[in-house]
Amino acid sequence: MSEKTFSVSRRRLLTATAAGGAMLAAPWAWRRAAAQEKPRELIVRAWGGVWVDSLNEGVSKPFTEMTGIAVRHDLTEDNEIRPKIWAAVDQGRVPPIHVNWDTSTNATKSALRGVTEDLAGLPNLKEMLPAATPEGFDGVPLVNMYSYVYVLAYREAAFPDGPPESWDVLLDPRFKGRIALYDDGIGFHPVAQIAGGGTMAGVPGDMQPAWDFIRKVKEQQPLLGEDPDFTTWFQNGEIDVACTILSNARAARQNGIDVAWTVPKEGCKVDTDGMWIPKGLPGNELHWAKEYVNFAMSQQAQQKWTSGLGLPGLRPGLTPPEDLEGDPAFPTSPEDFERLLSVPTRVLVEHESDWFQKFNEIMQG
Amino acid sequence: MASTIHDKGAGRPVGLRLLDLLEAARELLWPARMAPLTPWLFLLPAVLLTGLLAAGLIPLLDASLRPLDRATFRLAEDYALGNYATLATRPVYGVIALRTLMAGLIVTAATLALAFPYAWMMVRTQHAWLRKLLLVSLFLPFFIGQVVRAYGWLIILGKQGLLNALLDGLGLPPSSLAFTYTAVLIGLVQYMLPFAVLMLAPALTAVPVEVELASASLGARPFATFRHILLPMARPGIVAAGIVVFTLTLTDFAMPEIMGGGGNDFIASAVYDAFFQLGDAGLGAALGIGLTLVGSAVVGVILAFFGLGTLGYVEGREERS
């Protein structure tokens, strides 16, 4: 309560100071203040379930409390919003959202298309780890916010002797028809490469071991779905094993579903998500969208947001959630990351579509 | 009285003066000499709608001829057949197309087989309560969306679903129907049934009950009456229902997505994946054009085989003339 009172007082003080300064600095400052007029709301695209809940608690709610600007979350799938934004920018229309919370790979595709605003000037950017800023661009078209791991999630009751040690468990006849992967195979390609006897050096040049392993997995009749499907399938007893993001497995467990996770000996794929702002926003809305992204990088927001997700943020000095401390699926040190399988974003951008097609070809065959 | 009607003066009723005004406006906009074209005027909305759809195919065709440039994630400026080559050379698209066509045939056959007796019963029953029951049962699913119905089926067919509870109660081994091709077909048949019944019912109503009675009185068994009387006379409805069910199945997205478990995609799923998952609008457009061509070709073959008259218009007019 006292914190809230302090917060309001400080805001009033800041507002009064800003207003006084603006009066003294007229007319330049007056024009700038007009350009930064607060919009009624900001629209931020997000994933549903634990993802949007964490964003809301960690970033959106505090942002609204600080600025008075409402934040509306648009739960359109990241793949579905992308063509809408691209079309809006190409046609000179105002894009449908202010901030896109996106996978780094998809965000990079949008950056290459030239539809992203430059975020280079955001003050909190310099506080982030180097991995937050993508390489190979003039400026900063997107900011990576945290990393995440595609773990091997399993139903504990199906593994009375302890967690599975290898991704080979997907080939166990006991689990035929009771395993699940993402419908485009995302998160599984590097794992299949190693489990199939290949090396990361073979990515992307020689991925035959991955395709051979995925063909064997296909014989196990896997279910293919999206984030919410995994929770439902575990809950309904449809599956025993799945390759899914740690946040989904953790949220399911926190909701009383019999799910645990592990990083098998072959490792797990690690990736990053980020935020970007589409071009074409009115000046004041662009300003506040940047303020939102900047706030998402703050210590306070990163701590609460990424703790909710159960993912390591890309800002130094964050405290891991108690239940994930020391968990290899929650990497915090270089040694932790060495156990995981990372594919450079530029490789993903260039080849991921081919991998999706190849995966689809095997699974639909 | 007659002089009052033809009187153009101020004493005429307002209604008649308004009609005169409308008549004058009609004469101005559509003079009497244009009368032979009047039937075409009524076709105008349909022509406009079809034209709009056809016009929509032009940008789709344009996009389908532009491969994706992965350096900029924009479609190439120059035309090329790369997207169609991808469809031709990647076996997965052939598999998906064949699966979709097979589903179209199976669902159409199964739906018509179930819808025909349902519609006949609905039309012929002497019991008002039974007709109401059949009508309510038919219309209830319309109030429930396809997605909800698909999830309903998963509750029934799932590993811990109602079907397995029943089988378990009977001491039988559990079924694994959920997330299979069979599950998709079951869901589609249930979804299509009301459409087929609604198209068959008018066709069966048009068959006089006396014809069936005459057939029976001449010694025909029920199956013979069905085969030689009902089936031929209801052919317009059967063909129309078949075309509707087949084309709806061919383009369905939700059922294979939800009930197929990810491994039983239809062409619509491939179109979605190309547009959204791969971000390749050119490939998605090529798939869309392909789907349109396949659907149109199949309907064209059906109409060529049965003749346009099977829909009950041309032949009827020729017979009367």
In a domain, A30, yes or no: no
Is it the case that residue B190 has pLDDT exceeding 80? yes
User: What chain A residue is nearest to B159 in terms of C-alpha separation?
Assistant: A238
Q: Can you tell me the distance from the alpha carbon of B284 to that of B272, in angstroms, rounded to the nearest whole number?
A: 7
In a domain, A194, yes or no: yes
CATH number of the structural domain spanning residue A357: 3.40.190.10
Any B CB within 8 A of A78 CB: no
Query: For chain A, how many structural domains are there in total?
Result: 1
B16-32 tens-digit pLDDT:
999 999 999 988 988 88
Phi, psi (5° rounding) for residue B264?
A: -130, 50
CB A340 within 8 A of CB A267: yes
Domains and CATH numbers, chain B: 90-320 (1.10.3720.10)
Which residues from A are below 8 Å from B278, CB to CB? 353, 356-357
User: What chain A residue is nearest to B72 in terms of C-alpha separation?
Assistant: A113
Q: How confident is the model at residue B118 (pLDDT cuts 50, 70, 90)?
A: very high
Any A CB within 8 A of B176 CB: yes
Is it the case that residue B309 has pLDDT exceeding 70? no
Which residues from B are below 8 Å from A225, CB to CB? 261-262
Write b or e for each residue in B127-143: b if 16 or more Cβ atoms lie within 10 A of its Cβ, otherwise e. eeeeeeebeeebeebee
Which pLDDT value is given to residue B59? 94
Any B CB within 8 A of A354 CB: no
Q: How confident is the model at residue B144 (pLDDT cuts 50, 70, 90)?
A: confident
Q: What mean pLDDT is predicted for residues B145-150?
A: 91
Which conformational region is residue A68 in: left (phi greater than 0), alpha (psi within -120 to 50 degrees), or beta? left
In a domain, A289, yes or no: no
Would the CB atoms of B159 and A237 count as touching at under 8 Å? yes
- The separation between the first and the last C-alpha atoms of chain B, rounded to the nearest angstrom, is 41
Q: What mean pLDDT is predicted for residues B134-140?
A: 89
Angle between helices B91-124 and B181-205 (to 10 degrees): 40
Would the CB atoms of B276 and A360 count as touching at under 8 Å? no
Which residues from A are below 8 Å from B261, CB to CB? 223-225
CB B58 within 8 A of CB B52: no
Which residues from A are below 8 Å from B281, CB to CB? 83
B244-282 tens-digit pLDDT:
999 999 999 999 999 999 999 999 999 999 999 888 999
- Which residue from B90, B160, B276 is facing A361, i.e. has the nearest CB? B90
Would the CB atoms of B263 and A222 count as touching at under 8 Å? yes
In a domain, A112, yes or no: no
In a domain, A199, yes or no: yes
In a domain, A159, yes or no: yes
In a domain, A229, yes or no: yes
Could you give the C-alpha distances from A61 to A42, A73, A246, A274, A301, in angstroms and in order? 12, 11, 24, 19, 10
**Structure pTM?**
0.82
Which of residues 73 through 132 in chain B touch A, CB cutoff 8 A?
73-74, 90-92, 95-96
In a domain, A28, yes or no: no
Instruction: Concatenate the DSSP letters of all residues of B157-178 into one string.
Output: HSTTSHHHHHHHHTTPPPP--T
Q: Can you tell me the distance from the alpha carbon of A22 to that of A86, in angstroms, rounded to the nearest whole number?
A: 37
pLDDT in tens, chain A (365 residues): 333 333 334 444 444 444 444 334 334 443 454 457 999 999 999 999 999 999 999 999 999 999 999 999 999 999 999 999 999 999 999 999 999 999 999 999 999 999 999 999 999 999 999 999 998 899 999 999 999 999 999 999 999 999 999 999 999 999 999 999 999 999 999 999 999 999 999 999 999 999 999 999 999 999 999 888 899 899 988 999 999 999 999 999 999 999 999 999 999 999 999 999 999 999 999 999 999 999 999 999 999 999 999 999 999 999 999 999 989 999 988 888 888 999 999 999 999 999 999 999 999 98
A180: containing domain: 150-270+343-364
* Local structure of B29: helix, strand or coil: helix
Listed residue (A299, A337, A331) closest to A318, CA to CA? A299
